[in-house]
């Protein structure tokens, strides 16, 4: 029996954890401090954008706009347009590659700013700094939905690789959803820099191989493979209705 995403929102999972899916044996729950970068691949229509929505909504549901900043980047202008004008949104880039580059440049600057702040105060990570400082560094969620070959831009490919490499311990969560694995980012296996790889269905084994998750070309709609700690497991995504996006945003805590 398929499980509904509403049960995820009603659960009492800790703020720093995400419930991403389930199978007959267990649920996929990750600690965002241990897995700060997630890359989701799959064909258009396979379910990857739904999972990205579910990640964003879990974060918005748990955190106030004072505790969480959102940076949505959507090359199609269709998937993430709900999140453009929320109290959480720091900067957005919808159907605008140039603005996407500007947004990611700001992320890189924020990474350097946070590293300077924690190191100058004698801490090794943002969580420790926030425990002892009255001036907190909020969680930042960088959410990218790409279906227009954003990763084929050389500057973009370099920026994404740098962000994934540098965000551990900085209270930044990076999530990229893309169907395009025919680019240098995947050709050079830069996606394996991410702490968590997820792949929905592909029509042939070549795309699955490029996504670095062999076997993701024989999946049903809503099923995906997860590569984590060198192991690959299959999970199911939760049932989801787009109307839930507006409901969660309407009930968010803008404090």
Give the chain's domains with CATH numbers: 6-250 (3.40.50.300)
Higher pLDDT, 201 or 197: 197
Measured between its terminal Cα atoms, the distance across the chain in Å is 38
Question: Helix (H, G, I), strand (E, B), or coil: what is residue 234?
Answer: strand
Q: Among residues 156, 142, 125, 161, which one has the least CA distance to residue 33? A: 125
What was the pLDDT predicted at 1?
A: 64
CB of 110 within 8 A of CB of 140?
yes
Rounded to whole angstroms, how far apart are CA atoms 48 and 51?
Answer: 5
Provide mean pLDDT across the span 107-136.
97
C-alpha distance from residue 81 to each of 71, 112, 144, 215 (Å):
11, 28, 12, 32
pLDDT digits (tens, 9 = 90+) for 223-235: 999 998 888 999 9
Rounded to whole angstroms, how far apart are CA atoms 167 and 63?
Answer: 20
pLDDT digits (tens, 9 = 90+) for 7-52: 999 999 999 999 999 999 999 999 999 999 999 999 888 899 999 9
Rounded to whole angstroms, how far apart are CA atoms 68 and 149?
Answer: 28
For the whole model, what pTM was predicted? 0.95
Quick one: pLDDT band at residue 151, thresholds 50, 70, 90? confident
């Amino acid at each position: 029996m398929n499980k509904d995403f509403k049960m995820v929102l009603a659960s009492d999972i800790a703020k720093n954890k995400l419930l991403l899916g389930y199978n007959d044996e267990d649920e996929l729950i990750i600690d965002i401090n241990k897995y700060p970068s997630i890359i989701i691949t799959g064909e258009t229509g396979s379910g990857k954008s739904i999972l990205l929505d579910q990640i964003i909504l879990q974060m918005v549901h748990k955190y106030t706009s004072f505790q969480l900043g959102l940076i949505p980047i959507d090359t199609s202008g269709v998937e993430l347009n709900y999140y453009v004008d929320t109290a959480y949104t720091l900067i957005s880039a919808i159907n605008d590659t140039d603005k996407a580059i500007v947004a990611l440049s700001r992320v890189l600057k924020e990474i350097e700013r946070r590293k300077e702040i924690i190191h100058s105060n004698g801490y090794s990570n943002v969580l420790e700094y926030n425990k002892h400082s009255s001036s907190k560094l909020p969680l930042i969620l960088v959410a990218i939905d790409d279906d227009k070959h954003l990763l084929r831009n050389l500057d973009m490919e370099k920026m994404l690789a740098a962000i994934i490499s540098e965000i551990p311990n900085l209270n930044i969560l990076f999530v990229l959803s893309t169907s395009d694995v025919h680019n240098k980012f995947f050709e050079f296996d830069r996606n394996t820099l991410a702490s968590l790889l997820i792949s929905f269905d592909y029509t042939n084994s070549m795309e699955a191989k490029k996504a670095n998750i062999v076997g993701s070309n024989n999946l049903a709609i809503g099923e995906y493979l997860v590569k984590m700690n060198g192991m690959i497991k299959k999970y199911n995504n939760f049932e989801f209705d787009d109307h839930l996006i507006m409901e969660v945003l309407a009930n968010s805590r803008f404090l």
